[in-house]
Copies of this chain bind each other. A is one copy, B any other.
Amino acid sequence: MAKGLTSQSEDYSAWYNEVVQQAELADYAPVRGCMIIRPYGYALWENIQAALDRRFKETGHVNAYFPLFIPASFLAKEAEHVEGFSPELAVVTQGGGKELEEPLIVRPTSETVIGHMYAKWIQSYRDLPVLINQWANVVRWEMRPRLFLRTTEFLWQEGHTAHATQEEADAETRRMLDVYADFAETDGAVPVVRGRKSRSEKFAGAVASYSIEAMMGDGRALQSGTSHDLGQNFARAFNITYQDPDGRLEHCWTTSWGISTRIIGAIVMVHGDDSGLVLPPRLAPWQIVIVPIWKTDEERAQVLAAADRARAALSAYRVKLDDRDQLTPGFKFNDWELRGVPLRVEIGPRDVRDDKVVFARRDVPGREGKQPAPMSGLAEAAGRMLDEIQASMLQRARAFLEANTADVSDYEGLRSAVAKGFARAWWCGSGECEQKVKDDTRATTRCIPFEQPGGTGRCAVCGEPASEVAIFARAY
């Protein structure tokens, strides 16, 4: 129940922390930087997992499980990789009551240990491609933790594939980015910008990294999924080779791609409002909540009987009947609004008499989002309404993204655009210009979007010729 949620306009960051905890999505753990995903948040994660896992399997991937611990020496085999991850590592130095001879790293990501196994499993071109995904927890030491957005331990999936050719690996990298974008937009109602990461923002050890970037309610960016073309870097470091049809030994081309519990933060911040969460129907733990309304005992019996019939009629959906006796309807409305249930079904004595219910949309507050629905044909009407809510949430978020993305041509324009949203600007590609923007505005290049205006321009920072536009934004 909302113990007075701070409003978004007052303090967006406080709003976020409060809504995540009050809606019981997550809580801070007694270990610094770690979180607990509470049942309501975990049910959301289970729906996210199911939506992604189905897509992974449809694109030919299988799941497996690799070890939590990685020998410290493994990380050192890929120079950029170890440099990128060293500051974030958790290290096991004692096991079974003894000091370990070689410390073990709690995996920050699994390219190295998976690379080691692929070298063992892959012999021939007939063994390729290897298309494996893993659902797992990973650990990256976090000094400024925020629930879902940055925590020392988080849950994710990491896909790791090996291919015979560069073309196949490239195609896989792009295919999985498209899978992420489709998931984010279709299921999460979160519109995203797809693009390539700059050199300074790419994954440690990758040849190229791609990401989907979403815009939060405060105009900041959240990297919501990444896909990496690892070239032959890890194949060389771990000696992942195959014999081609002519008997020649070649190094594989590998990829990796991941999406994490961070995406829950995106769903909270893209859709939430001052009353709490607004969850997209396709992912919401409860899609529909039925709230019966009565005053007298006689009304109570009639209304609860009708509510039960409604629940039965709606059983194809994730439906909850809130028949708690000691709480008022008003309290329940607020409670389920805080939790973001997409569709509320109200049933009072007059509705029973008229053989109808009232639909109240979470995404359209107040009277405007209310409409009657006859008990006959209730399931179909609810299904249509959920579809409409899903579509409308995406549309609204897309309009927000577009309204807060500015095409800028000079540095002043860039500075003012990143103060409230995304700046799309010509960029010469130099790290110096990137760094200057960061120093001046705290904004970074989020990606070089696949969708380019064409032609060439002048870098918004230094004025030199530029062949691509980049998205600059402050990021979570």
Contacts and interface: CB of A to CB of B under 8 A. Distances in A.
Given A36-B64, A39-B63, A65-B36, A31 B104 contact: yes
Interface in A140-191: 141-143, 152-153, 155
B90 A64 contact: no
Most buried by B among A31, A71, A116, A139: A31
A155 B65 contact: yes
Interface in A12-59: 27, 29-31, 34-39, 41-43, 45-46
Interface stretch (A94-102, A379-387, A460-468): A94-102
Contacts of A27: 117, 120
Interface string A57-96: 0000011111111110010000000000011111111111
A116 B46 CA distance: 24
A95 B42 contact: no
B117 A36 contact: yes
A93 B100 CA distance: 12
Interface in A102-144: 103-104, 106, 113, 116-117, 120, 132, 136-137, 139, 141-143
A55 to B, nearest CB: 16
A42 B71 contact: no
Contacts of A42: 62-65
A54 to B, nearest CB: 13
B68 A139 contact: yes
Contact of A96 (B74, B89, B153): B89
A373 B87 CA distance: 63
Contacts of A30: 71, 74, 113, 116-117
B97 A87 contact: yes
Given A31-B71, A113-B29, A117-B27, A66 B96 contact: no
A371 B27 CA distance: 58
Interface in A415-468: none
Contacts of A91: 92-95
Contact of A36 (B45, B67, B141): B67
B62 A43 contact: yes
A415 B127 CA distance: 50
B106 A31 contact: no
Contacts of A92: 90-93, 106
A458 to B, nearest CB: 41
Contacts of A68: 34, 106, 137, 139, 153
Given A62-B43, A106-B106, A34 B139 contact: no
B95 A90 contact: yes
Given A62-B43, A63-B39, A67-B29, A93 B94 contact: yes
Contacts of A117: 27, 29-30, 36
A190 to B, nearest CB: 22
Contact of A97 (B74, B86, B94, B95): B86
A65 B93 contact: no
A224 to B, nearest CB: 20
Contacts of A74: 30
Contacts of A103: 94
B141 A66 contact: no
Name the residue among A46, A86, A92, A116 with the largest chain B CB count within 10 angstroms: A92
Contacts of A41: 64
A67 B116 contact: no
Contacts of A94: 89-91, 93, 103
A304 to B, nearest CB: 20
A67 B113 contact: no
Interface string A235-249: 000000000000000
Interface string A247-281: 00000000000000000000000000000000000
A42 B34 CA distance: 27
Given A27-B117, A37-B64, 15 more contacts: A29-B66, A29-B67, A36-B65, A39-B64, A41-B64, A42-B65, A43-B63, A46-B63, A89-B96, A90-B92, A91-B93, A95-B141, A96-B141, A136-B137, A137-B137
Closest 3 CB pairs of A and B: A96-B141, A39-B62, A34-B67
22 contacts: A29-B67, A30-B74, A30-B116, A31-B67, A31-B71, A38-B64, A42-B62, A42-B63, A45-B65, A68-B106, A68-B139, A68-B153, A69-B153, A87-B96, A88-B96, A89-B97, A90-B94, A91-B95, A92-B92, A97-B141, A106-B106, A136-B137
